[in-house]
Structure 1
Amino acid sequence: MLNIDRSKHTRTPGHDAQFRARRLALALVPCAVLGAAGWGAPTTVLAQTPAYPVKPIRLVVPFAAGGGADILARVLAEKMAPTLGQPVVIDNRPGANGLLGSDLVAKAPADGYTLLLITSSFVVNPGLTRKMPFDPVKDFEAVSIVASAPTALVVNPASKMNSVQDLVGVSKADPKRLNYGSSGVGGFPHVMTELFKASSGVSAMHVPYKGGHDAVTDLLSGHIQFIVSDLTPVMPYLQAGKLKALAVTGPGRSRYLPDVPSLAEMGIKGVNVLGWYGLVAPAGTPAPVVNKVRDAAVSALESADVKARLAATASDGVGSTPEQFAARIREEVPMWKSVTSAAGITLD
C-alpha cells in the first residue's frame, strides 16, 4: 500500500488565498485582451455594422412600365448596380397618380433597400387631394434630382397660330373657342397648362385623356387646339412639321428646340418650370446610405451611355445634393397647391 504523508498536502489558509488569487488573475486575462481590442466599440469585429449594401436594392416606380419614369429608372438601375455592388431591381407599382407606389415606400424600412423614383407629380399631388396617405416632405429623405424634362406649348400648324401672342389673341376674341388636352386630371401637363393660363390670361376648356399620346392624336386631327407636353411624344411630329411648338416652359430655351423661345422671352412670366425626376428614400434612412445612393446615381448620370439614352427622350441628367433636392420639394409643394386651388383641380 502506498503511504502518503498528508501533512505535506494539507491546505492552509495562506495556500487557499494564493490559489484564489492565481485563479482570479487567469480569469481576468481574456477581459484585458478584449478591453485592449476596444470592447463595446461599434467599429470592432465584435459589433461591426455590415457595409451597405449587402443585398439587392428595390427601386419602386409608381407608374406603369414603358413610360418615361420607368425608362429612366431602368437606365439608372443598370448603371448604379456596378457602383453599389448589388443589383437594383425595378418594381412598378402604378396607381392614383403615383400615390400607391409612393405610399409603399413611405412605409418601408429606412434601411436603404427600398428607394422611390419620383416625378414632378410627387409635389403636385398634395394639392389635389385631402386624403394624402403620406407627407412628401416629412416621410421621405431626398437623395438627388436625376433628370429634367422640358415641356412645350404645342399647336397644330393648321390653326394658323404661329406665336404665343396669336394664341392669346384667339382666346381674347372668343374665350370659348380653345380646348386643350392633357394626359389626365391632375397630371403634370394639366397643372402646367393651368399655370400657363393663369399667367397669360388665356381661356381654354380642359379635355382629359387616358394618356399623353391620345391627346397628341386629337391635336393632330384638330379636335383640340393646343397642349402643354413633354417633348417625347411630340418630337417626331415637330420634326416632321405636323405640329408646331410656340414656346418652352423652362427658364430658358431647350437645347432640343433651340429655335423655340421660352415663355419668359414672349413676355409670359411665372411659368419658368421644368418637369423633373428624382430619387427619395424612406424618412430616417441613415445619411451615409443616402449619400452612397446619391453618389452612385450621379456617377451613372455622368456616363456617356446614360447621357445619350436620356437625350433620346429629350431629357437631361441633373445631379444634386440631398439638401438641394429637399429644398426644392419644400418649395414646390406649396407652389403647386396654390395653382391647383386656383384652378379648382381635385382628385377627391
Structure 2
Amino acid sequence: MLNSIRLGKALRAALVAAVLPMGAQAQTWPTQTVRFVVPTPAGSSVDIVARLVAEKLGGMLGQTVIVDNKGGAGGTIGADAVAKARDGHTFLLAYNGPITVAPSMFSKLPYDPQRDFAPVILAVTQPNVLAVRTDLKVNSVKELVALAKNRPGKIDYASVGNGSLSHLAMELLKMKSDTFLLHIPFNGGPAASLALGRGDVQVLFAALSNVQPLLRDGKVKLLAVSNAKRSAALPELPTIAEQGYPGFDATTWNGFLAPAATPKEVVLQLNKAIGKILETPEVKQKLLAGGAEVAGGSPEQFAALLKSETAAWTAVIARSGIKPD
C-alpha cells in the first residue's frame, strides 16, 4: 500500500512537470546536482576557472555543483556529452577548440556548436604566452623566427592538443613569419608543460597558469603574449603584434554553454549568478594571478563572439591545412 502511494505521488509529479510551461519549470530550478563538464584534463586552465566558479555557485543555488573532466579529441568528447544531456542540470565550460575551431577541423562532428548549445556567459579571456626553454638562445619573437629559419624543422614546439588555440597560435605565427617548426601535440596543458620542462620540446604556446611552475623554477622564459593587446596579468610582456607581426591575435576564452533546449530563464539565472561570482574581488584576483581576465556580458554578446571567431579560425585552418590527426 505504501509503495502504491509513493508511486502515485511520483507519477503525479512527473505529470505536473510535463504539462507545466518551461518558464514555470525554470522557476524551481535547480532540483538536483548541477554538473559542469570541462572538456580538458584536471589541472588545466579551463579546469581552474570551473572549480573557482563551482565553489561559489553551490551556495548561491542551494545545490551541489560538481566539475566533471571529460578531456580528449580536442575537447569534442566533453562538448558532445553536454550537447546530448537532457537532465537540465548539465553545462559545459568550453574553450575555443570544440566550439569555434572544431567545425573546420573535423569533417563530421557529433554535434553542431551553433544549433546544439545556448551561450550562457563568456567567463574569462586569457592570452597564450609564448614560452621557450631558458637554454634556447633567443630573447624575442624575431630571434626565435631567425633561429627557426636557420634550423628548419629542427625546433620542436608543443601544443596542448591538435587543433587547440595553442596549436593554432603557432601555426598563425608560422604563416606570418614564413618559418617551419615541428609540431608535437599533447593531451592538455599540464602534459605539454611537462614536456617543455624536461626539454623534450623547445617552444610552447600555453596559458600562463600552465607554465608558471616552470617560470618560477627558471626553466623557461616568456617572449610574448598572443593577444592583440597586452595582458593585465603581464603588462611588461609585449604582444607578438608589437614584435613585427601586426594583426596577430590568438586569444583563448572560457565560456559557459547550456544544451540548446535549456529554458531561457535558467540561462539568464546562470548568467546572472556566474557574472556576480566572477566580479568578486577574491575570484578576480585568483584568475588574474593565472593570467585570466574576467569578461562577463550577456548571452547575446557571447553568441556574437562565437560566430565571428568561427569565421576567423576557419580561414586560418583552411590556409594551414591542419587536420585532426
Q: TM-score range by the shorter chain?
A: 0.7 to 0.9
1:32-66 Cα offsets, whole Å, 9 max, x none, are xxxxxxxxxx89xxx96561414122222223333
Q: Structure 1 residues 325, 173: CA separation in 2 closer, same or farther (over 3 Å shift)?
A: same
1:342 equivalent in structure 2: 319
156-165 or 49-58: bigger deviation: 49-58
Q: Name 1:32's counterpart in structure 2.
A: none
Q: Distance in 2 between matches of 1:234 and 1:209?
A: 14
The residue aligned with 2:31 is 55
Measure how far apart 1:100 and its partner are: 1.9
Structure 1 residues 180 and 95, CA gap change in structure 2 (3 angstroms): closer
Residues 147 and 278 of structure 1 are in contact (CA less than 8 Å); yes or no, is this contact kept in structure 2? Answer: yes
Aligned to 2:303: 326
Instruction: Give the 3 Å change call, closer, same or farther, for CA 220–48 of structure 1 in structure 2.
Output: closer
Residues 1:130 and 1:60: Cα distance change in structure 2 (over 3 Å): same
Task: State the TM-score, normalized to the length of structure 1.
Answer: 0.79
Aligned with 1:108 (options 65, 82, 85)? 85
More deviation in 170-179 or 301-310?
170-179
Look up the match of 2:44: 67
Shift of 1:330: 0.9
Number of residues of Structure 1 aligned to a counterpart in Structure 2: 303
Matching residue within 126, 130, 141 for 1:153: 130
1:300-322 deviations in whole A, cap 9, x for unaligned?
10112212332342222221210
Per-residue displacement from partner, 1:5-39 (whole Å, max 9, x unpaired)?
A: xxxxxxxxxxxxxxxxxxxxxxxxxxxxxxxxxxx
Question: For 2:241, what is the secondary structure of its paired residue?
Answer: coil
Are 2:206 and 1:229 equivalent residues in the alignment?
yes
Provide the secondary structure at the position in 2 that maps to 1:347: coil
Match of residue 72, structure 2, among 88, 95, 98: 95
In structure 1, the partner of 2:286 is 309
Determine the structure 1 residue equivalent to 2:55.
Answer: 78
What letter corresponds to residue 102 of structure 2 in structure 1? N
Residue in 2 that maps onto 1:118: 94
Give 1:339 shift: 2.0
One-letter amino acid matched to 2:37:
V
Q: Which runs of 5+ in 1 are unaligned?
A: 1-41
Find the partner of 2:141 among 164, 186, 189. Answer: 164
Q: From the superposition, tell whether residues 154 and 263 of structure 1 become closer, same or farther in structure 2 (CA, over 3 Å).
A: same
2:244 to 252, 262, 267: 267
* Aligned equivalent of 2:221: 244
Q: CA 1:215–1:88 in structure 2 vs 1: closer, same or farther (change >3 Å)?
A: closer
Once the two structures are superposed, residues 114-145 of structure 1 have per-residue CA deviations (whole angstroms, 9 ceiling, x without a partner) of 21111121221122211201111111111111
CA displacement at 1:177 relative to structure 2 = 3.3
Q: What TM-score results when the alignment is normalised by the length of structure 2?
A: 0.84
* Matched letter for residue 103 of structure 2: P
Query: How far apart in 2 are the matches of 1:48 and 1:170?
Result: 63
In structure 1, distance between residues paired with 2:89 and 2:137: 53
Q: Work out which of the residue numbers 204, 207, 225 in structure 1 matches 2:184.
A: 207
Deviation at 1:222, TM superposition (A): 4.4
In 2: Cα distance, 1:202 partner to 1:63 partner: 30
Deviates more, 1:289-298 or 1:172-181: 172-181
Q: Residue 288 and residue 345 in structure 1: after superposition, are their counterparts in 2 closer, same or farther (change >3 A)? A: same
Determine helix, strand or coil for the equivalent of 1:234: helix
Report the alpha carbon displacement of residue 157 of structure 1 after superposing the two structures with TM.
3.1
Q: CA deviation at 1:278?
A: 0.5
Q: Is the 8 A contact 1:199 1:270 kept in 2?
A: no
Structure 2: distance between partners of 1:158 and 1:279: 39
Looking at structure 2, the residues matched to 58 and 52 of structure 1 have their Cα atoms a distance apart, in angstroms, of: 17
SS of the aligned residue for 1:345 comes to coil
Q: Identity rate of aligned residues, in percent? A: 39
CA RMSD, 1 decimal: 2.4
Aligned to 1:295: 272
Q: Secondary structure at the match of 2:175?
A: helix
Query: What is the CA–CA distance in structure 2 between the aligned matches of 1:160 and 1:268, rounded to whole Å?
Result: 21
